[in-house]
Amino acid sequence: MTQRINFAKESSDMMKKFGEFVAATKENAVEESIRDLVNVRIAQLNNCTFCLDMHIKQAKLHGERELRLYHLASWRESTLFAPRERASLAWAEVLTRLPEVGVADDVYERVRTQLNEKEISDLTFVVMAANAWTRVNAGFRTVPGSSDVMLGLEKAGLN
């Protein structure tokens, strides 16, 4: 695999500002467990191994059960997810893979039955951040696990 540029070094000012944005999404009306599930699912949808590796480790450190992480790729068929989690995952998926006609009313209404307006708005910013990360990490082929020590992810015990 060809070595690609170090985007964090080349665009350090933008990385700093983007890091501030991402940090702001952690102070969120939506609970951490849903944010973890959404981040893992977005990494799966975007085929970003770096992000998938990182978010699975974060979710495990935050107490997420491994079986739910294994079921996440088929969350619609799994019985392990609550309606609120399902609505959040549906919202994350539709915003990650925007249909040509935009977000359908039925998807939006399903989310509105489970999350309030602030939560939907905050979750949307989480989805935006996760999608931005996957694009930069996939584009520059960031090596999975390369930031584990810096992020404290080695504590997850998933080496």
What is the 3-class SS of 11-44, one letter each residue?
CHHHHHHHHHHHHHHCCCCCCHHHHHHHHHHHHH
Rounded to two decimals, the pTM is 0.90
Q: Where are the domains of the chain?
A: 21-141
Over the stretch 121-149, which tens digit does the pLDDT of each residue have?
999 999 999 999 999 988 888 777 767 67
Task: Dig out the tokens for 138 from the structure.
Answer: 């996939």
Over the stretch 18-66, which tens digit does the pLDDT of each residue have?
999 999 999 999 999 999 999 999 999 999 998 999 999 999 999 999 9
Residues 6+ apart with CB under 8 A from 154: 148
Query: What is the per-residue burial (b if ≥16 Cβ within 10 Å, else e) of 112-128?
Result: eebbeeebbebbbebbe
Q: Does domain 21-141 have CATH number 1.20.1290.10?
A: yes
